[in-house]
Structure 1
């Protein structure tokens, strides 16, 4: 039993040591981060001074520098951007567009329906599945079937 207490005591001491090391590393990280932030602000201030002195048309933006996007082209930024911005839709109006599309084109898959909706009315959902399902709540005559892994939407006749 004495062995149990010594092993437990050793484990407690090891744990305490690891927690102290962790706290120390966090403090160092915070200090380094603050120092880098100050260095970045100084450099940005100097760049602004030089831009103003030279009358440069395109000054460096602080937001770009802080985000690390200085010099990145638009194509790379678009690829990095994963989510579409949330927009509110009038689902009753969108439902009318969907009904018109389904009357003209009979049965469509989810992707085909969303592409056609975007092409005709400029309506684009951040999540097509959710957007279309919120829309068809207003259309009781729309029938949803599965064809393998695809959803197929059509009007019930």
Structure 2
């Protein structure tokens, strides 16, 4: 048993980069913290909305309580925006597939559609309260004019996903 304990300590010491980290690991061993294997990602949320994630962390658990100590490189991670971007990418992948059958069905009237788009582009658009990046994203993803993008964002309270979905 002592050999297994010293082998685990040796493995931890080899993984530890700095002298301070080695000291911290040794102090944790003395406190009765044991390695907790099988964790691939740890996500922590701060009170102000900040989210940090640690990929491939080294996790230790206290044997007496539900206390965990995590070693690894913490990165600022905004899960909400990441999920939103993934949804936009999925919609962008699905949109060309849906537009191909629709394009063949509406082939006789493609000249009328660009005329309405150009008329809307000539009108000045009040984009107050709407982010320029959001407008560009909606224009790009939904393949619409600036005025349609602004209108959709305002109707959906600046929700990118809803605005794009309503335009599709």
Give the TM-score normalised by structure 2: 0.28
Greater percentage in helix: 1
Greater percentage in strand: 2
Tell which structure's C-alpha radius of gyration is larger: 1
